[in-house]
């Protein structure tokens, strides 16, 4: 998996970074959990503060385009983000509880 950041800007009003990226991969499409882990490591951010919003893939290509948001703190994340996106981006251990 190879990430290419296409747009990275700071949204001071919502206390977050908004990152648009292109991901090139080999084989099967990676899962959200795999993408979240690699993206968090690349951006030096905690997985619990990163939300993957949209990931769109074109048929026949081995790349996808996505949007992620990296929040400064948990409070800003919960005030701003929709509940289903928080649950979807949560690590698997937190979902089992």
Count of structural domains, the chain = 1
Q: Indicate whether 95 belongs to any domain.
A: no
Cβ–Cβ contacts within 10 Å for residue 48, how many? 15
Q: Indicate whether 81 belongs to any domain.
A: yes
CATH of the domain at 42: 3.30.70.330
Q: Indicate whether 64 belongs to any domain.
A: yes
pLDDT digits (tens, 9 = 90+) for 22-56: 999 998 889 999 999 999 999 999 999 999 999 99
pTM: 0.84
The DSSP output letter for 10 is E
Q: How far is CA 25 from CA 68, 70, 92, in A?
A: 18, 22, 22
Position 25 scores a pLDDT of: 93
Sign of the four-CA dihedral 69, 73, 31, 43: positive
Higher pLDDT, 94 or 39: 39
The DSSP output letter for 62 is S
Q: Indicate whether 77 belongs to any domain.
A: yes
pLDDT digits (tens, 9 = 90+) for 54-91: 999 988 899 999 999 999 999 999 999 999 888 888 76
Say if residues 22 and 6 touch (Cβ distance below 8 Å).
yes
Position 95 scores a pLDDT of: 45
Q: Indicate whether 96 belongs to any domain.
A: no
Position 93 scores a pLDDT of: 60
């Amino acid at each position: 998996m190879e990430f290419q950041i296409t747009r990275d800007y700071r949204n001071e009003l919502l206390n977050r970074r908004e990152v648009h990226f292109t991901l090139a991969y080999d084989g099967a499409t990676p899962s959200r959990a795999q993408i979240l882990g690699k993206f968090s490591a690349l951006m030096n951010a905690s997985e619990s503060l990163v939300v993957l919003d949209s990931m769109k893939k074109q048929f026949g290509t081995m790349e996808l385009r996505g949007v992620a948001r990296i929040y400064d703190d948990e409070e800003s994340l919960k005030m701003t983000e929709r509940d289903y996106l928080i649950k979807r981006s949560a690590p698997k251990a937190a979902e089992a509880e």
